[in-house]
Chain A
Amino acid sequence: MFIKEYFGTIFNSVKSLLTGMKLTGYYFTHQNKIITEEYPDNRATLIIPERFRGEVIMPHDENNEHRCTGCQSCELSCPNGTIKIITQQEIQPDGKKKKRIHTWVYHLDMCTMCGMCVTACPTEAIKMGNEFEHSVYDKSQLKKILNKPDSKLKQGVED
């Protein structure tokens, strides 16, 4: 009885190890089953889903116009204080003074990509971009100004 048990254990142990070896052997010989992506080399074919939240961007159209009215909803909705909007009074062609954004400061180093600013924006001025390679050598480069120089508010957004 003891001998039977002893050899039974050895047999079962070897069998269980061979079962695992068989599986690894299968993948060793079936190269087409490999799904590893060689990341830095496959940048050209890399597909990032449209919804992926990588950074906050402010789209500008061909006339260098954006949709941000400077209402600061995003600034209030941000849990981390990532966004700082500096506004100024601009004299319009009809002579009236109106509030316009001067600089739209985005601290990427403080952003956790929760996307709450995009949800809060009433004019769809900002959205989440797909860029994810954010590494830089100096932290100060992560402070970004999203409105382009000399950009204007698009006509009709405010109404």
Chain B
Amino acid sequence: MKLLGEDIVTETGEFIINMGPQHPSTHGVLHLKIWLDGETIKKIEPHLGYIHRSIEKMSEKMSYRQFIYLTSRMDYLSAHMNNQACALVVEKALQVEVPERAKAIRILLAELSRIGSHLLWFASVGLDLGGVTPFFYAFREREAINSLMEENCGARLTQNFHVPGGILEDVNPDFQKRVKEVIKQLKDNFHEYDEILTGNVIFQNRLKGVGYLSKEDAISLGCSGPTARASGVVCDIRKSNPYDGYEKLEFDEVVLTGGDSWARYQVRMAEMLQSIKIIEQMIDNMPEGDIVAKTKNVIKLPKGEFYQRVETARGELGVYIVSEGAATPYRCKYRSPNFANLSAIPIAAKGGKIGDLIAIMATVDLIIPDIDR
């Protein structure tokens, strides 16, 4: 039998199916070509390019103030951290010292968006595995975080709150009160997540022992973030290369050695609690003062190469800029976490059942626009 001029059954009797680009269980437009032997996965080949917007090339035509906002469109759930990486690389090149208050606000909002991102992941992992109810519980808290972002940054997802040298404008006077409200709501309701999904025996059986990724594979594939930390790789950029004052904060890097989908689930749930811990440390002693360091109107970076990495909700985002001394970058390259994490899926799913592939994709937590850029 042939489909689009290609055999859908190979000579060795393997059956080829395409998952995506519009499969409802895949997030975004990911296209996986799967070789099946019965129900067992023999090989997976991801096909990319469905949502390519050439963000890197567009950045080369934009000034150092303008190119920051584009990165909100890569990993839209970690938009704040993506913008932070771009602002940090410009500050690093210009050797500008960011005011303490701006740093504190950056960290607070970054950790809030990390919680928001993990909450959406929690909602979708339940949804992917057939549980619709947890979605609404997670979105209740996520709505509180998004409202806070809307009040202070002016947008719910694509905040664009960073400028080179600091942040765009000072937060509202009731910011501290509102953050405390959100954190209290989250802490009061966190036990509900464990009751409705974590403790559920059907959910546990679908994740435990599924999609094993060894530590060696995670390192050689370049995985980062919760996906790698669930396999025992110590890779938190906030600990190893602290930026914006993370070195002064006390929090634990959550590392588990399970390597399966269940470990990836537990890492993300524990990271939410660590983010709450960071916010609670910061919120009562926010320094006063300026919110933006003085920079020239037209920013020109000195000649050279600059690299800055941050820990987004999904792993390490690196921004690499080659400057020729002009007002626009000569070359701009993003090392996105999802592209590396995607390569873990064929390894983790090999030999498993096709139904488990959904669980693996859900727990690796891919954001497709970040893969293609």
Binding site for B on A (CB under 8 A): 12-13, 16-17, 19-20, 22-24, 35, 49, 51-53, 77, 79, 112-116, 119, 128
With beta carbons under 8 angstroms apart, the residue of B168, B172, B197, B201 that contacts A12 is B201
8 A Cβ contacts from B125-147 to A: 133, 140, 143, 147
15 A-B contact pairs sorted by A residue (CB < 8 Å): A12-B201, A16-B199, A19-B195, A20-B195, A20-B196, A23-B195, A24-B133, A35-B140, A35-B143, A51-B150, A51-B152, A52-B150, A52-B154, A79-B67, A114-B69
Q: Name which residue of chain B comes closest to A128, CB basis.
A: B154
A114 and B160 contact, CB distance less than 8 A: yes
A24 and B155 contact, CB distance less than 8 A: no
Q: Nearest Cβ distance between residue A130 and chain B, in whole angstroms?
A: 10
A19 and B199 contact, CB distance less than 8 A: yes
The answer to whether B33 has its CB under 8 Å from any CB of chain A is no
Which residues on A sit within 8 Å (CB–CB) of B66? 77, 79, 116
Given contacts A13-B201, A20-B200, A119-B163, 15 further A-B contacts (CB under 8 A): A13-B202, A16-B199, A17-B202, A23-B196, A24-B196, A49-B151, A51-B152, A51-B154, A51-B172, A77-B66, A112-B69, A114-B158, A114-B160, A115-B154, A116-B69
Distance of A35 Cα from B201 Cα, bound (Å): 29
Which residues on A sit within 8 Å (CB–CB) of B199? 16, 19-20
A12, A35, A49, A112: which has the most chain B beta carbons within 10 Å?
Answer: A49
The answer to whether B206 has its CB under 8 Å from any CB of chain A is no
In the complex, how many residue pairs between chain A and chain B have their CB atoms under 8 Å apart?
65
Which residues on A sit within 8 Å (CB–CB) of B201? 12-13, 16-17
The answer to whether B270 has its CB under 8 Å from any CB of chain A is no
Distance of A19 Cα from B150 Cα, bound (Å): 35
A79 and B151 contact, CB distance less than 8 A: no
Q: Nearest Cβ distance between residue B290 and chain A, in whole angstroms?
A: 16
Chain B 172-213 interface 0/1 with A at a Cβ cutoff of 8 Å (1 = within): 100000000000000000001001110111100000000000
Distance of A104 Cα from B133 Cα, bound (Å): 49
Q: Name which residue of chain B comes closest to A49, CB basis.
A: B151
A116 and B154 contact, CB distance less than 8 A: no
Which residues on B sit within 8 Å (CB–CB) of A113? 154-155, 158
Which residues on B sit within 8 Å (CB–CB) of A79? 62, 66-67, 69-70
The answer to whether B110 has its CB under 8 Å from any CB of chain A is no
Q: Nearest Cβ distance between residue B170 and chain A, in whole angstroms?
A: 11
B168 and A119 contact, CB distance less than 8 A: yes
B150 and A17 contact, CB distance less than 8 A: no
Which residues on B sit within 8 Å (CB–CB) of A114? 69, 158, 160
A112 and B62 contact, CB distance less than 8 A: no
Q: Name which residue of chain B comes closest to A79, CB basis.
A: B66
> Given A77-B65, A119-B168, do A53 and B155 touch, yes or no (CB 8 Å)?
yes
The answer to whether B107 has its CB under 8 Å from any CB of chain A is no
Distance of A88 Cα from B9 Cα, bound (Å): 69
Chain B 148-170 interface 0/1 with A at a Cβ cutoff of 8 Å (1 = within): 00111111001010010000100
Q: Nearest Cβ distance between residue A153 and chain B, in whole angstroms?
A: 23
Which residues on B sit within 8 Å (CB–CB) of A128? 154
The 3 closest A-B pairs by CB, nearest first: A79-B66, A49-B151, A13-B201
8 A Cβ contacts from B266-281 to A: none
Which residues on A sit within 8 Å (CB–CB) of B197? 20
